[in-house]
A and B are shown apart, each in its own frame.
Chain A
């Protein structure tokens, strides 16, 4: 909230994406359902944050509001101090399902954002190839999506989201439909890609370890109504290997977050209080 004319670099970067008093109410026949209530947060440039919470906590709704795909009921969202009204420029998005177009080859799928935006395709072809190489799918350019496994398809979807050098990458449970091993692998890949070219990432997940592994900061959300109940900065060195999940520091973060959920009546039972 600094209105000072000169801005400290750190303050400026903490304000890349700012959400203030956001509210989202869905109108249904039975009346309004509050999906998000008084959500305020700010995210820095090149920061990796997660929206973590149980289903129904509004984390996907919040992401869709940031993406400009969903109308907000009250409050404001701004990116680099420009209010968001509709999908922002320089944004890439990855959904839970890869949404690759079956009739296009891998490389043409990655180049799809050019087509949609009406840009010349040619200048972006080398970038598409480089992204495929970076994410470990070099040589698959001319395959069709149905020839690829689920994990490979989602990698292609990530390449597509990164094609136009977005400054903001939104990911809505991108690995939720994958098996555990593929998920681990893609967590590593995502970290690597992000470290190679850091951009602001907002990552929606309901997996506590996944959020801790990937994030700089985690916005812990609760439901009825959907809201942010805690913010946890994850101070673990990068690049983080998968083995970091067995370290005490990592476990501390995980149990801290679990306790937050338990405090809100989520995740009670089985392993409570240890």
Chain B
């Protein structure tokens, strides 16, 4: 099973590499034929040359952005799960916290970024806070849905054995909510990255958002593109890490089972 699993994974990553390489090839070909000025549209080769000219500098800035993204994301997952449990079990929290979250979600969170810079300064904390806030909503909404959408017969089964609310939570509602939580996390991880970049755009001295802004000021378009390519790469990696964790944590889920059978059939 593990062998066919990793074979399927290999096939998937092969597809990704193929599509991305194709995209870059078409791009490079267009630049080669049309020869736009480099400050408007550099080709992929120029961009990769730029990346390789200062790999450590790019690595450091990437780590800065990733750190803020991951911390904001993880805090959002932890707080989001607790909030979702509270909302499902308490009418009061549903009426207050949930209502507030929905209202807050209607505000474009990027509009709040300047406030966090005022409150927390231009360092890591404000970026984490913006990441957290922007990632939180999808996690709470999906987890609430997952905790609620348990089979009523399963609830009756627990009741018939006099299961306490805690047992029902641990053995029924939480495992049932895991696939929903992961769906929320997949949306949230991309949003957390958006949050970190938004924070860096408003004010910062490090990170890929800072690289983009400062390079833009100097018309170093190749550098802007280099940072964007890195962001695309990192965003994809982060997404697939969440995807991988999901496969490990809930292998029973329907959307994965299909691939199990596919892989089994092909192998």
With A87-B160, A91-B160 known to touch, is A99 a contact of B171 (CB < 8 Å)?
A: no
Shortest Cβ distance from residue A196 to the other chain B in the assembled complex, whole angstroms? 23
Q: How far is the CA of A68 from the CA of B162 in the complex (A)?
A: 10
On whether the beta carbons of B160 and A93 are closer than 8 Å, the reply is yes
Tell which of B164, B172, B253 touches A101, judged by Cβ atoms closer than 8 Å. B172
Q: How far is the CA of A83 from the CA of B160 in the complex (A)?
A: 16
With A103-B252, A112-B171, A116-B167 known to touch, is A67 a contact of B160 (CB < 8 Å)?
A: yes
Residues of B within 8 A of A117 (CB): 161-163
On whether the beta carbons of A116 and B158 are closer than 8 Å, the reply is yes
Shortest Cβ distance from residue B197 to the other chain A in the assembled complex, whole angstroms? 36
Q: How far is the CA of A118 from the CA of B160 in the complex (A)?
A: 14
Interface presence of A176 (CB below 8 A): no
Residues of B within 8 A of A102 (CB): 252-253
Interface residues of A in 64-79 (CB under 8 A from B): 64, 67-69
Tell which of B157, B164, B172, B252 touches A144, judged by Cβ atoms closer than 8 Å. B252
Shortest Cβ distance from residue B258 to the other chain A in the assembled complex, whole angstroms? 11
Residues of B within 8 A of A138 (CB): none
Tell which of B153, B162, B252, B253 touches A86, judged by Cβ atoms closer than 8 Å. B162
Q: How far is the CA of A146 from the CA of B260 in the complex (A)?
A: 12
Give the residue among B156, B161, B171, B175 with the most A Cβ atoms within 10 A. Answer: B161
Give the residue among B159, B167, B253, B257 with the most A Cβ atoms within 10 A. Answer: B159
Q: How far is the CA of A116 from the CA of B178 in the complex (A)?
A: 19
Q: How far is the CA of A68 from the CA of B164 in the complex (A)?
A: 15
Shortest Cβ distance from residue B141 to the other chain A in the assembled complex, whole angstroms? 22
Q: How far is the CA of A247 from the CA of B64 in the complex (A)?
A: 82
Interface presence of A240 (CB below 8 A): no
Residues of B within 8 A of A69 (CB): 156, 159-160
With A99-B151, A103-B250, A146-B252 known to touch, is A118 a contact of B167 (CB < 8 Å)?
A: yes
Interface presence of B154 (CB below 8 A): yes
Residues of B within 8 A of A56 (CB): none
Give the residue name and chain of the A residue nearest to B257 (CB).
Answer: A146
Interface size, B (range): 20 to 34
Shortest Cβ distance from residue B252 to the other chain A in the assembled complex, whole angstroms? 4
Contact indicator per residue, chain B 231-267, by CB within 8 Å of chain A (1) or not (0): 0000000000000000000101110010000000000
Residues of B within 8 A of A256 (CB): none
Give the residue name and chain of the B residue nearest to A105 (CB).
Answer: B252
Residues of A within 8 A of B254 (CB): 146
Shortest Cβ distance from residue B1 to the other chain A in the assembled complex, whole angstroms? 11
Grouping DSSP codes into helix (H, G, I), strand (E, B) and loop, the A interface class, with mixed when no group exceeds half, is loop
Q: How far is the CA of A93 from the CA of B158 in the complex (A)?
A: 10
Interface residues of A in 41-56 (CB under 8 A from B): none
Interface presence of A268 (CB below 8 A): no
Residues of A within 8 A of B164 (CB): 118
Shortest Cβ distance from residue B254 to the other chain A in the assembled complex, whole angstroms? 8
With A95-B157, A116-B158, A146-B252 known to touch, is A103 a contact of B167 (CB < 8 Å)?
A: no
With A87-B162, A101-B172, A115-B171 known to touch, is A93 a contact of B252 (CB < 8 Å)?
A: no
Q: How far is the CA of A1 from the CA of B17 in the complex (A)?
A: 80
On whether the beta carbons of A95 and B156 are closer than 8 Å, the reply is yes
Residues of B within 8 A of A146 (CB): 252, 254, 257
Q: How far is the CA of A253 from the CA of B87 in the complex (A)?
A: 55
Interface presence of A113 (CB below 8 A): yes
Give the residue name and chain of the B residue nearest to A94 (CB).
Answer: B157
Residues of B within 8 A of A99 (CB): 151, 153-154, 157
Residues of B within 8 A of A68 (CB): 160
On whether the beta carbons of A116 and B163 are closer than 8 Å, the reply is yes
On whether the beta carbons of B175 and A103 are closer than 8 Å, the reply is yes
Give the residue among A68, A87, A91 with the most B Cβ atoms within 10 A. Answer: A87
Q: How far is the CA of A113 from the CA of B162 in the complex (A)?
A: 10
Shortest Cβ distance from residue B148 to the other chain A in the assembled complex, whole angstroms? 17
With A95-B153, A102-B252 known to touch, is A87 a contact of B159 (CB < 8 Å)?
A: yes
Q: How far is the CA of A274 from the CA of B162 in the complex (A)?
A: 49
Q: A67-B160, A116-B161, A146-B257 are in contact. List 18 more A-B contacts (CB 8 A).
A: A67-B156, A69-B156, A69-B159, A87-B162, A91-B160, A93-B157, A93-B160, A95-B156, A95-B157, A97-B153, A99-B154, A103-B250, A116-B158, A116-B162, A117-B161, A117-B162, A117-B163, A118-B164
**List of 5 A-B pairs having minimum Cβ-Cβ separation, nearest first:** A116-B163, A116-B161, A102-B252, A99-B153, A103-B175
Q: List 21 A-B contacts (CB under 8 A).
A: A67-B156, A67-B160, A68-B160, A69-B156, A87-B161, A87-B162, A91-B160, A95-B153, A95-B156, A97-B153, A99-B151, A99-B154, A99-B157, A101-B175, A102-B252, A112-B171, A116-B157, A116-B158, A116-B161, A116-B171, A118-B164
Q: Which B positions have Cβ atoms within 8 angstroms of A?
A: 151, 153-154, 156-164, 167, 171-172, 175, 178, 250, 252-254, 257
